[in-house]
Structure 1
Amino acid sequence: MTLERGNAFTPVASATMIWPWGASLLGGTVTGALSFLMNFGLAGIPTAVSTGIFFFALIGGVGGVLSKKGDRRGRRWAATYPFRYATAPALLGGGATAVMTYIASVIGSFAIFSGLFGALFAGLGVGLVLWVLIGVVAMVAGNKN
């Protein structure tokens, strides 16, 4: 697979080729567990899962650019197109946050339709934050050899 030619799946391929899976899983698990311990109860479960997935995507996206263990073609592609690279982790984090926020609103108040728009805006906000953070880090630190 050539990442330089602009294949249709290049953001996902680039993100998965250079993603530090061990550090991402560990960071997401630890932050999710700490979030659950701080918000103990049935309503704390979606919040903890959302927090864990947010940090999983953040650590994976930033770690993929900063780490030297991944594929060099993937790192070069991420440094050349930083905001395309940041799209895959942002979609993962934003989508998971939207789903978990909607589940939390349904569990908390049984608001099936009114919680939908709040969940969509929460997911868009988290996705935008992840996209900007990972894109800026990939833009600044990714071009260094």
Structure 2
Amino acid sequence: MTLERGNAFTPVASATMIWPWGASIVGGSVAGALSFLMNFGLAGIPGAVTTGIFFFALIGGIGGVMSKKGDRRGRRWAATYPFRYASAPAILGGGATAVISYIGSVIGSFAIFSGLFGAAFAGLGVGLMLWLIIGVVAAVVGNKN
């Protein structure tokens, strides 16, 4: 898949070519484990999983722009279009957070409809924060590499 203008899958291709998988998996796992230890018990599991997902997407998105190991075309594309690049980790993090939050609310209190709206807003909030943070970092740091 080439990184050319007009390609529909460019954000996903760019994100996966320069994504530091090892660092993001380790960072997300450590953050999720620490969150679980701070909220010990069954009620803390959905929060720990969503914390791990957030840091997985954040470390992967920022690390992809700052790392020198990834594909240079992907880094150049991410520096040229920082908020398009940030959309792939934001959709991943926000969507996974919404799903896990909904499952946790249904299991915890059997709130099927109110849990759906709460999970949707939680996913939108997480996705927006990831999009803003990764987009700003890619805009500032991306051009210097």
Do residues 48 (structure 1) and 48 (structure 2) align? yes
Find the aligned partners of 2:73 and 2:114 in 1 and give their Cα distance: 45
Find the aligned partners of 2:70 and 2:89 in 1 and give their Cα distance: 16
TM-score by length of 2: 0.97
Q: How many residues align?
A: 145
Q: C-alpha displacement at 1:2, in angstroms? A: 2.1
Q: C-alpha displacement at 1:113, in angstroms? A: 1.1
Q: For each residue in 1:59-93, what CA deviation from the matched residue of structure 2 results, as whole angstroms up to 9, or x when unmatched?
A: 00000000000000000000000000000000011
Give the conservation status (yes or no) of the 8 Å contact 1:43–1:107: no
Match of 1:128 in 2: 128
Q: C-alpha displacement at 1:104, in angstroms? A: 1.6
- Report % sequence identity: 87
Stretches of structure 1 that go unaligned for 5 or more consecutive residues are none
39-48 or 21-30, which moves further after superposition? 39-48
Match of 1:97 in 2: 97
Q: C-alpha displacement at 1:45, in angstroms? A: 1.2
**Aligned-residue CA RMSD (Å):** 0.9
TM-score by length of 1: 0.97
Find the aligned partners of 2:9 and 2:102 in 1 and give their Cα distance: 28
User: Match for 1:89: what amino acid?
Assistant: P
4+ residue stretches of structure 1 with deviation over 3 A? none
Match of 1:77 in 2: 77
Q: C-alpha displacement at 1:41, in angstroms? A: 1.4
Which structure features the higher share of helix residues? 2
Find the aligned partners of 1:53 and 1:79 in 2 and give their Cα distance: 24
